[in-house]
Amino acid sequence: MESSNIFLLLSSLLSLLIFPSPPTAAAQLSQNYYSSICPNVESLVHTAVAQKLQLSFAAAPGTLRLFFHDCFVRGCDGSVLLAAANGDDENHSGADLTLSPEAVDTVNRAKAAVDGDPQCTNKVSCADILAIAARDVVSLTGGPYYQVELGRLDGRVTSKANVKHNLPGPGYNLDQLNAVFAANGLTQTDMIALSGAHTIGVTHCDKFIRRIYRFKQPLAFNPPMNLTFLRQMRQICPLNYNPSTFAMLDPATPFKFDNAYYQNLQKEMGLLASDQILFTDQRSRGLVNWFASNQTAFEEAFVAAMTKLGRVGVKNATEGEIRRVCTAVN
Ligand code: HEM
Ligand SMILES: *[C@@H]1O[C@H](CO)[C@@H](O)[C@H](O)[C@H]1NC(C)=O
Ligand SMILES: *[C@@H]1O[C@H](CO)[C@@H](O)[C@H](O)[C@H]1NC(C)=O
Ligand SMILES: *[C@@H]1O[C@H](CO)[C@@H](O)[C@H](O)[C@H]1NC(C)=O
Ligand SMILES: *[C@@H]1O[C@H](CO)[C@@H](O)[C@H](O)[C@H]1NC(C)=O
């Protein structure tokens, strides 16, 4: 055996000892997956994402939400990015109609930056680029920075039908929220922590209009809303609202990734019923209060839950590919 081979063998054994993969990680994911394939991938993505955020803050919440919707529909496989010629893609189904074009642009810019490095061209999956970008928008808006697991492959399948019942809706109660998260291996704690993503970004009037006016057909449930806040929301969304009108999900600090989301819920200032129910329901209120009082506890739980989210339905080399263009299968 050549001495260089012995060195490689020894160093890989050593790295196994020093960096044991966490026991619950999806088999093929690791934090240093691209260390020899494209060592600069994370700095290339970070620079592209930071530049995009300078142009448009909306890219931050948009990218975070895009990652969530990717992972909950057929796993974290970049399928949410696919654009089918006949329009039968995830992007054109109900819940995904308001996905942010700025987020798609963020991923495309990051992909171009990665592919611009000759060592990396067509070697990094769009699913991984999205996972890195989602981590980066969190830290760039003031949230925690964490090591992101990599090694996902891109799926080849997209369809409107795949979205139905896989994504939670704004009118979901706690049991419904828990069910859709449990279907992805996530606990109620994960769900409450991930809902903290609503500390940035927007929601359109149609998602909460029935909470602020009396309609003939009442909602299945309508958790209480702060009266002052309700009046403000009526100003933003009159009954004849324009469909493109939106309100901030976290009215207190809409551009900062912090735990104000949970403090809002304590004041009955959760805009979506699915947000406010986390405080109204006794089974989840304790954790909302804990995250509201302890930013570190929220951040730790959020990072743990994002890591679990990133392992959902990961595809291997038989089931997936490295897409050349994120919007189309090879
Ligand atoms: C718990 C169940 C959840 C429900 C019912 C839900 C529902 C929604 C709804 C209805 C909107 C507004 C869409 C619009 O009107 O444009 C929204 C926005 C958003 N969601 Fe969620 N979501 C949930 C969980 C999550 C999770 C787990 C994440 C990420 C980890 C996330 C990240 C976001 C972000 C960042 C926005 C703002 C998007 C933007 O400004 O472009 N959500 N969500
Ligand atoms: C969804 O489609 C619209 C146009 O129909 C496009 O602008 C947008 O980039 C697409 N978004 C995703 C996530 O593919
Ligand atoms: C409603 O919001 C105001 C202002 O944020 C706050 O002082 C008050 O305590 C809230 N009311 C309830 C019932 O939480
Ligand atoms: C906040 O949470 C962190 C992480 O769980 C914990 O170490 C710390 O003791 C908590 N702080 C307080 C004041 O309880
Ligand atoms: C990928 O996963 C599928 C389904 O679990 C399995 O049949 C196949 O052997 C795996 N391929 C590789 C290369 O691991």
258 in a labelled binding site: yes
Q: Which ligand is nearest to the Cα of residue 299, counting in written order?
A: 4
Residue 316 has what pLDDT?
92
Residues 6+ away with beta carbon under 8 Å from 158: 79, 80, 82, 84, 88, 89, 90, 91
Say if ligand 3 is within 6 A of residue 231 CB: no
Mark whether 92 is an active-site residue. Answer: no
Find where tokens 């324009």 sit: 242
With a 6 Å cutoff on the Cβ, whether 230 touches ligand 4 is: no
pLDDT of residue 17: 45
CA angle 173, 200, 302 (to 5 degrees): 65
Task: Determine whether the annotation assigns residue 198 to a binding site.
Answer: yes
Best probe residue, ligand 4, of 289, 296, 299, 300 (max atoms within 8 Å of C-beta): 296
CA distance 36 to 53: 29
How far apart are the C-alpha atoms of 34 and 12, rounded to whole Å? 15
Q: Which helix (H) or strand (E) holds 307?
A: helix 295-309
Residue 170 has a pLDDT of 96
The residues pairing with 202 across neighbouring beta strands, listed in sequence order, are 248
Instruction: Classify domain 28-167+310-321 by CATH number.
Output: 1.10.520.10
Q: Where in the chain is the domain with CATH 1.10.420.10?
A: 174-309
CATH 1.10.10.10 fits 174-309, yes or no: no
**Block residue for tokens 């171009």:** 112
Please give the pLDDT value at position 25.
59
Q: Kindly report, as residue ranges, where domains of CATH 1.10.520.10 are found in the chain.
A: 28-167+310-321
Q: What b/e readout covers 160-180, taking b as 16+ CB neighbours within 10 angstroms?
A: bebbeebbbebbbbbeebbeb
The pLDDT tens digits along the chain (330 residues) read: 444 454 444 454 444 444 444 444 577 999 999 999 999 999 999 999 999 999 999 999 999 999 999 999 999 999 999 988 888 888 888 776 778 999 999 999 999 999 999 999 999 999 999 999 999 999 999 999 999 999 999 999 888 887 888 999 999 999 999 999 999 999 999 999 999 999 999 999 999 999 999 988 888 999 999 999 999 999 999 999 999 999 999 999 999 999 999 999 999 999 999 999 999 999 999 999 999 999 999 999 999 999 999 999 999 999 999 999 999 999
Percent helix, strand, coil in the chain (nearest 5)? 50, 5, 45
Alpha-carbon separation of residue 101 from 59, 66, 181, 205 (angstroms) = 8, 10, 26, 19
Name the pTM for this structure: 0.92
State the Cα angle at 275 between 208 and 284, rounded to 5°: 150
Rounded distance, CA 139 to CA 46, Å?
10
Q: Is the CB of 281 under 6 A from ligand 4?
A: no
149 is in an annotated binding site: no
In contact, 243 and 235? CB cutoff 8 Å: no
Given this model, what pLDDT does residue 1 score?
A: 40
Atom from ligand 5 closest to the CA of residue 316: 1
